[in-house]
Structure formats: C-alpha cells, structure tokens
Amino acid sequence: MPVKHDLYADLGITKDDLGKHRSKDAKLNQLVDDYEAVDADIVKAEAGSAGDVSDDQLKKLKEKRLLAKDKIVRQLSAAS
C-alpha cells in the first residue's frame, strides 16, 4: 500500500514548526503546497488510481518531489 512521504522527518522539523515558518513566508508556503501536490500524485500513481503510470513517469514524479524538497530546504535555510 502506498504511503505519503514524511516531509517532516526528512526536514527534521515538526509539523507545528513548519506551520509557523509557512505562516511567515508565502514562498515557503507555496513550495510546501507544491511538494504535497506532487507527493499526492505519487501516492495515486503507486496505488494505481492515477491510471497507467509507467515506471519512467513515476521516476520523474519522484525526481520532481526531491527537487521540491530541496527548494523547501533552501527556503528554510534562507529564512534562518
């Protein structure tokens, strides 16, 4: 069963702490929204509910999620 990726564990931050940062930073808020949308697409693809998604398409989605996470890390670092 596909599982939603744990962004908070990857970032080493709590949901509440990230929420505080998001409320102060519109760009970070958008980046997290983008990340969550890609992650949801991956979960749907892995569950088969997104139709026929090839391995290559799934790999590209995962790369997109990784890039989105990297942008979040950079934005959090810039805010610190």
Give the model's pLDDT for residue 15.
94
Structural domain boundaries in the chain: 7-79
pTM above 0.85, yes or no: yes
pLDDT higher than 60, residue 1: no
The burial of 36, by beta-carbon neighbours within 10 Å (0-12 exposed, 13-18 middle, 19 or more buried), is given as middle
Helices (H), the chain: 7-11, 15-24, 26-47, 55-79
**pLDDT single digits (tens) 20-55:** 999 999 999 999 999 999 999 999 888 876 567 888
Listed range (2-11, 55-64, 71-80) with the worst mean pLDDT: 2-11
